A and B are shown apart, each in its own frame.
Chain A
Amino acid sequence: LDWVEQLAEVDTSSVEPLTAVIDQKLRLRADVIDDGDIRDAVLANAPNAQHGFFAVPKVIE
């Protein structure tokens, strides 16, 4: 974390952060179902699957 103090020395007052390397608007697609019916594939790697659900310790008291 010591070196990151170097960054404070740089004057960035007139610079916009770089959040996208190349400018491109986020593409939207039609709100149409194009996937599904893959429950077993999705559960295949589950550490604990029961009755078609992922099983985890009780969350709600």
Chain B
Amino acid sequence: MAELRSGFRGGDFTAREIAEAFNAAVAGAKALNAFTVETPEDALACAAIADAARGSDNVASLSGIPLGVKDLFATKGVDTTAGSKILTGFKPPYESRVTENLRRAGAGMLGKLNMDEFAMGSSNETSAYGPVVSPWKRSDGGNAALTPGGSSGGSAAAVAAGIVPGATGTDTGGSIRQPASFTGITGIKPTYGRASRYGMIAFASSLDQAGPMARTAQDCALLLSAICGPDPDRDSTSLDVPAEDFTKSLHAPIEGLRIGVPKEFFGDGLAADVRAAIDAALRQYVLLGAKLVEISLPRTELSIPVYYIIAPAEASSNLSRFDGVKFGHRARDYSDLLEMYKRTRAEGFGDEAKRRIMIGTYVLSHGYYDAYYLQAQKIRRMIADDFQQAFKQCDVIAGPVAPTVAWKIGEKSDDPVASYLADVFTLPGSLAGLPGMSLPAGFGAGGMPVGLQLIGNYFGEAKLLNAAHRFQQATDFHLRKPEGF
């Protein structure tokens, strides 16, 4: 993205040429199924504005840059489905704050990106519009289609394939970090409350956060600066923290940076190939002047049941609005209102959404609320406190994003719990509301990408991006592309 900006501003090429090139790339990569809808005219229209403004004071930070937008964001007049059949054909009459911010910064839109239904999933296999296929293939034989991860699978695949220069994603339990790790790109989830959730179709309100996904930390810093900012009138969970320029301290030296390494992230569940790549990445950080400190996050494994109680509970409440009354799918045959609700929701929701709504409703029900939901919220506080203890000894925390590299599409479909267990390293940061990122750190079995996770303390995004940027100046993993792209 940095090269696109300087090339556009320097007159090497026009914004129109950028938009045309990416529109063609998007049209030529339909096999990935990364997009639910393509909007080439939007990219061209924003390019025209950028070209007219070039050389004047009206050039904004993202003028000339077209982006992919995860289909969880309400985009005015453009289909927004959240990966679900229950919203087929839904065209929001309003724009999400995040996409409005990006547009105000001059960015155009290439299209809406496919995702797990209502952001519930880690492999983009629960989408009602078909799975996204990773542009990566294993190098050790076989042509099996692999998952790009999820729920921001379309965003990750599109960035990794080079058909978009950057994309928006959302992260509730790891949905930016894990697909970034699986596809060898960079992604960051800011501190909870830093990005407005207005217009972001809600899954778990106390966990959802928007964030950028792009090739480099520098690109993510540019996008995150536009994305974040207070929105008090429309999002009551939006923090009163001013917008920040996250590119300012990207180049600061990291000598003396204390990197906490949680021993619980390096247990038996971590695949050997991933462990090797992460260990090598940590050694690289030592070469850059950082100091590794062993820390403990004792309740790491408890984060799985805690999350899979809290998130479905919040989802069961948020998804109750899909009833066929005011918008979205409505069943055709029904004899009364109750039957209309039942048939509409039975037809419109996929299995994973139904599963989570049922779990959520159960744990919130009278008689179970204290044992499940309340207990989970208490343990959540203990998990957040564990991080605060750890941050007394270190500046950032580093470890794997996922226990393995990307798996084959269909491999885990029969056992949803197996994919829940794979979220163990990203869930704790989400529960605590801390900022977290994934950057390409090397390769594992079959030549598949492995991401390094960095977790910062509240409002520590600039430090994370700085640490990632310095790593990317010393390595080239973030420049590697899948074969054929």
Contact = CB atoms under 8 A, between A and B. Distances in A.
Contacts of B89: 45
Most buried by A among B309, B325, B378: B378
Nearest to B459: A22
Contacts of A59: 337
A58 to B, nearest CB: 8
B378 A17 contact: yes
A7 B377 contact: no
A52 interface: no
Interface in A1-60: 1, 3-4, 6-8, 10, 12, 15-22, 24, 26-27, 29, 38, 41-42, 44-48, 54, 56-59
Nearest to B192: A21
Interface string B423-439: 00000000011000000
B377 A19 contact: yes
A17 B374 contact: yes
Interface stretch (B2-10, B245-253, B287-295, B299-307): B299-307
A47 B330 contact: yes
B458 A22 contact: yes
Given A12-B378, A21-B433, A7 B93 contact: no
A58 B305 CA distance: 42
Interface in B226-279: 232-233, 236-237, 239-240
B39 interface: no
Most buried by B among A8, A27, A58: A27
Contacts of B444: none
Contacts of B329: 47
A10 to B, nearest CB: 6
Interface string B27-44: 000000000000000000
Nearest to A6: B305
A7 B303 CA distance: 10
Nearest to A26: B236
Interface in B319-349: 324-330, 334-337, 340
Contacts of B305: 3-4, 6-7
A58 B338 CA distance: 10
Contacts of A8: 371, 375
A46 B90 CA distance: 9
B93 A10 contact: no
A7 B372 contact: yes
Interface of B: 89-93, 191-193, 206, 232-233, 236-237, 239-240, 302, 304-306, 308-309, 324-330, 334-337, 340, 359, 363, 371-372, 374-382, 384, 432-433, 458
12 contacts: A4-B372, A7-B306, A7-B375, A15-B381, A18-B377, A26-B236, A42-B326, A45-B89, A46-B326, A47-B324, A56-B337, A59-B337
Given A7-B376, A41-B93, A54-B326, 7 more contacts: A4-B308, A7-B379, A18-B380, A20-B237, A22-B239, A42-B93, A47-B329
